[in-house]
Chain A
Amino acid sequence: MNAENETQTTGELPATATEASPGAMIRQGRERMHLSLDELAGVTKLSYHTIESLERDDFNALLEPVYVRGYYRKCAKVLDIPEKALLDAYQARVAPKQPLPPAKLRLASGADLGSASRLPVTLAIAGAVVAVLVCAVVWFARGSGQPAPQSVDAGQASIAVTGEPQATVPATEIAVPPATPAEVPATAAPDATLSAPAAAPVEGATAAAAATPGGTAPAAASVAAPAAAPAASAGSAVLSFTATSWVRVDDASGKTLFNGLAQPNESHVLNGALPLNVFLGNAPAVKVEFGGKPFDTQAFQRDNKTARFTLPAR
């Protein structure tokens, strides 16, 4: 059929041979009702050329699908053709084309431009991506590096017990006097010391925590130094026992730093928020050092050998 041959134009799909074309359906309907093209145009209010194009299936000469489908509906109503059959025949020949939104549009409101609206979303996504990256880096570092240290709050008070070298304590919690060059191998790079305390465990309580001024090489945190006398920083207390004694030490925040029975020859380094409230059950058997200096407990001792005092003394 001539009309069908003309349908093979850009954007059209090949029609099946058995299906009648929409143009043919309209022409048949028009002829059945004995209407001329002019008469059909008059009834539908469509132009003569539009009706002609519809009958010829000349989709290129027709307008956008929204209009063409409307024209078919009008014709179907006037010519008493099933609307669905006509529209299906049209759809079978024309590739469905999604109407493109315009490039620019005037909105009724929206003081903010479209681009501005992206900001909060962009920030949220950027935050999520950064969080994922940080987690990945941490996971990688923990997986490939040295074993992770015990996780203890940075503010938590710690106790270093001499004579028990196996006790592993995070280096951040140990206050150690600056190491001298003779005590510490000088091979460790300064950078290693800065990052090591947080990541590496320290055996014993003698690892250096910071580089000393004056060119002293800092110690790597992982270096196991020989056990030495307990060391304390300026604000810490050291309790050495010559006999068994009950001890309870609370810091200013109410946290109990030590509560229990200490055995002879033990020594405890206590760090906490000052002042420390100390109770000794057997005061004569305890040697107290505070701020690196001996602290005399005799003034606080009672008849039953107990002593209650605060460090520093009030």
Chain B
Amino acid sequence: MFDAVRRLFVNDLSIDLGTANTLVYVRDEGIVLNEPSVVAIRMDSRGAKKVEAVGIEAKQMLGRTPTNITTVRPLRDGVIADYTVTEKMLQHFIRKVTKGRMARPLTRVVVCVPYGSTQVERRAIRESVENAGARKVWVIEEPIAAALGAGIPIGEARGSMVVDIGGGTSEVAVISLNGIVYAESVRIGGDKFDEAIVSYVRRQYNMLIGEATAERIKIQIGTAFPGHEVQEIDVVGRHLAAGVPRNFTMNSNEILDALQEPLSGIVKAVKQALERTPPELGSDVAERGIVLTGGGALLRDLDKLISEETGLPVIIADDPLTCVARGGGMVLDMLDRQGDFYSLD
């Protein structure tokens, strides 16, 4: 009953502060916000900067802004690249999800950070969330949150492998008894896929396309493993020699070719994790399989690629995009049930 009364005064949020998307989970409500981590900033004639748009609205402006507006992605490789803009973005998101709950003065946040982030980077994320209006902030590593959100029973004395492919980083972790036995974080993710497509198009077609177009190509026909069906997409880019927009058609095999480099980086990280996993846990992983989470898991046949490369079953978690945020939400529940947490730093 006490908890029920206390909840009337508290906003409990779990934030997956991702390079590509920021997701906010509100306790008892679920995922209430899933918006791109993009901020549009307007500069006036005196040089003063003002936030013009945040999230979906700002992403629509990406690459289409006049000179006095710039679109910024404040996170790169899973960590904060622009502290002030990140803070503004978080302020906007927190205000958006807590709108109409003015009677709840306290905001507690669980925020997820990449496993490979440094202490300085973690502190920056923590302070940024605090300055955005959170009274209390807990930081949790993404692989743990992803495993929790996927529904993996991480408390058992059995090994589970999670591969969380986000926008900026990919985390590979072997988890047992509520702890990370081995983890590897590589700075390869959806952004690198987009960049690889942009550079492939430039190289092969002598055309220039924007990041938004590259992302659209990836989502629509991107694949990680050669399939039976070859899909095509019409793309408009600027011809580098002629300097005028031109149409051209790309197919899924080309995208597969373009993505080879970042994909091999992820596969290498998974193989390395398997090599370094203790044999008992390795056998558990071989029996149960590798679980893919994160937006990158939605790339077609990525599970097949990793499965073929490792010889292990690879499964995609339900709703992989929201696993980390949902996992953070489970941590919030734990905070109430028992305050028995071990801290790392």
Interface positions of A (Cβ within 8 A of B): 44-47, 63-67, 69-71, 73-74, 99-118, 120-122, 124-125, 128
Contacts and interface: CB of A to CB of B under 8 A. Distances in A.
Interface in B307-336: 307, 311-318, 330-331, 333-335
B288 A67 contact: yes
B277 to A, nearest CB: 17
A117 B108 contact: yes
Contact of A45 (B307, B335, B339, B341): B307
Select the residue from A106, A107, A125 with max chain B CB neighbours within 10 A: A107
A105 B289 contact: no
Contacts of A122: 6
Contacts of A107: 138-140, 331, 341-344
Given A67-B315, A111-B345, A104 B340 contact: yes
Contacts of B313: 44-46, 70-71, 74
14 contacts: A70-B315, A70-B317, A99-B152, A104-B341, A105-B331, A105-B334, A107-B139, A107-B331, A107-B341, A110-B137, A110-B138, A111-B343, A114-B340, A117-B335
A173 B344 CA distance: 63
Contacts of B148: 99, 101-102
Contacts of B9: 121, 124-125, 128
Nearest to B7: A121
A109 B312 CA distance: 33
Nearest to A105: B178
Contacts of B154: 102
Which are the 4 A-B pairs with shortest beta-carbon distances? A70-B315, A115-B339, A114-B339, A102-B155
B151 interface: yes
B268 to A, nearest CB: 19
B314 A45 contact: yes
Contacts of A120: 106, 135-136
B42 interface: no
Contacts of B288: 63, 67
Contacts of B126: 109
A121 B10 contact: yes
Contact of B339 (A69, A111, A116, A124): A116
Contacts of A108: 113, 122, 139-141, 344-345
Interface residues of B, number: 56
Given A71-B315, A74-B313, A105 B287 contact: no
A101 B334 contact: yes
Contacts of B5: 125
Contact of B344 (A74, A109, A116, A117): A109
A61 to B, nearest CB: 12
A199 B151 CA distance: 63
Given A115-B339, A117-B136, A66 B150 contact: yes
B291 interface: yes
A67 B337 CA distance: 27
A250 B296 CA distance: 81
Given A108-B122, A109-B126, A70 B144 contact: no
Nearest to B341: A114
Given A45-B312, A102-B334, A125-B9, A113 B341 contact: yes
A116 B335 CA distance: 10
Contacts of A45: 289, 307, 311-314
A67 B106 contact: no
B153 interface: yes
Nearest to A114: B339
A66 B317 contact: yes
A45 B9 CA distance: 50
A68 to B, nearest CB: 9
A66 B179 contact: no
Contact of B152 (A64, A103, A116, A128): A64
A102 B287 CA distance: 22
Contacts of B343: 106-107, 109-113
Contact of B178 (A46, A100, A106, A112): A106
Contacts of A124: 9, 105-106
B338 interface: yes
Contacts of B331: 101, 105, 107
A42 to B, nearest CB: 10
B291 A66 contact: yes
A101 B330 contact: yes
Contacts of B138: 107, 109-110
Contacts of B137: 110
A125 B345 CA distance: 30
Select the residue from A108, A110, A115, A125 with max chain B CB neighbours within 10 A: A108
Contacts of A109: 122, 126, 138-139, 343-345
B176 to A, nearest CB: 11
A209 to B, nearest CB: 44
B151 A99 contact: yes
A45 B139 CA distance: 36
Contacts of B105: 124
Nearest to A72: B315
B144 to A, nearest CB: 7
Contacts of A64: 151-153
B334 A47 contact: no
B5 to A, nearest CB: 6
A106 B138 CA distance: 11
A50 to B, nearest CB: 8
B152 A66 contact: yes
A121 B6 contact: yes
A71 B341 CA distance: 34
Contacts of A73: 315-316
Interface in B119-173: 122, 126, 135-141, 144, 148, 150-155
